[in-house]
Amino acid sequence: MRLAVLKERRAGEARVAATPDTVKKLLALGLTVVVEAGAGIGAAISDQEFAAAGAEIVADAAAALAGAGIVFAVNAPDEAVRALIAPGTLVVATLGAASDPALAPALAAAKIDAVGLELLPRITRAQSMDVLSSQANLAGFRGVIEAAGAFTRGFPMMMTAAGTVPPARVFVIGAGVAGLQAIATARRLGGIVSATDVRPAAKEEIKSLGATYVGVDDDESAKQTGPYAGQMSDEFRKKQADLMAATVAKNDIVVCTALVQGRKAPVIVTSEMVASMKAGSIIVDLAAEAGGNCAETVPGEVITTPNGVTILGHRNWPARIAVAASALYARNLLTFLTTFWDKDAKAPKLTETDDIIKGALLTKGGEIVHPNFKPAA
């Protein structure tokens, strides 16, 4: 069976869905791996390195997809690429179907069998193929590193003969995978770190990393469980906003990581809060892709407000650390495929009663099969 790895066409996307290491393992399954020329350039992987690993390099998407039974991609293929994919082909990618209502019907109409790895259930068996966690982890790291680069006062406390440079005060909003990595990174850089999350269970995780917990504890937050936060009521958001106002004003760097999958990011840092911050302060909005947690964020841009606060609103944070992000993402895809690989048939076997397949399979046989995306009767 032929597996195609495509060059990403989304603006600003530097990641790739395979690496020379995963190509070798895919070949060991009995697959023929075809890589579109230039697919790995943004992740510092040359065509020659892919070829040395055993992949066939072809000139364009049409050549890569000719005869392919499986397609690995970072993002959902666009309309032009979908037109080149044969019916029955299995596409494995981060599809983003929750934010694009037209995608699932389009994939079904093209008779593409599509797996959206962002839809994986949060169960132990799926952890090693969880693209949201692997990419969010790197986004949290990168966000703090870029904040440190933009911050003009120095991060750790430094005692010199000329005087003492105080440490940066860092406040992390959201203690999921990205937030916890942001906390750990800011601590390693020497900052004084505090953090908040709507889930009470996060309190101990925050403290275990050496940060101070700041949060609203009530009946609604007590119901929040698991690694990802759910939608909160307006009343809770009001309580949270009051607490945030006091906390944001006294911090130098604010890292926003609060996301609800498939929905617009909740606005937590208001314009008034931004106005209360000192000149030279930094806001890192890891939720910019979904509109941003900060009211002043301009998705895709870095701006400085009239009072001197710099807001980093990059849309695709994992792509800003593309080498590491590609390595982890490629392993996620490899793990998914090997988990459901039929060694005798040398083909994927997606058993629809399996919890992982039930959670991640979006379309199959020309139909939308995921219950969250099926059209209303």
Q: Which residues are catalytic?
A: 122, 127, 130, 133, 228
Type of residue at 93:
A
Coil/strand/helix, residue 261: coil
User: DSSP string of 323-334?
Assistant: HHHHHHHHHHHH
Nearest CA to 245 out of 211, 196, 205, 207 is that of 196
Contact 16, 330 (CB under 8 A): yes
Instruction: Spell 107-127 as b/e; 16+ CB within 10 A means b.
Output: bbebbbbbbbbbbbeeeeebe
Query: Which H/E stretch holds residue 253?
Result: strand 253-256
Report CA Rg, the chain: 22
Largest CA distance in the chain: 74
User: DSSP string of 176-206?
Assistant: SHHHHHHHHHHHHTT-EEEEE-S-TTHHHHH
Contact 224, 243 (CB under 8 A): no
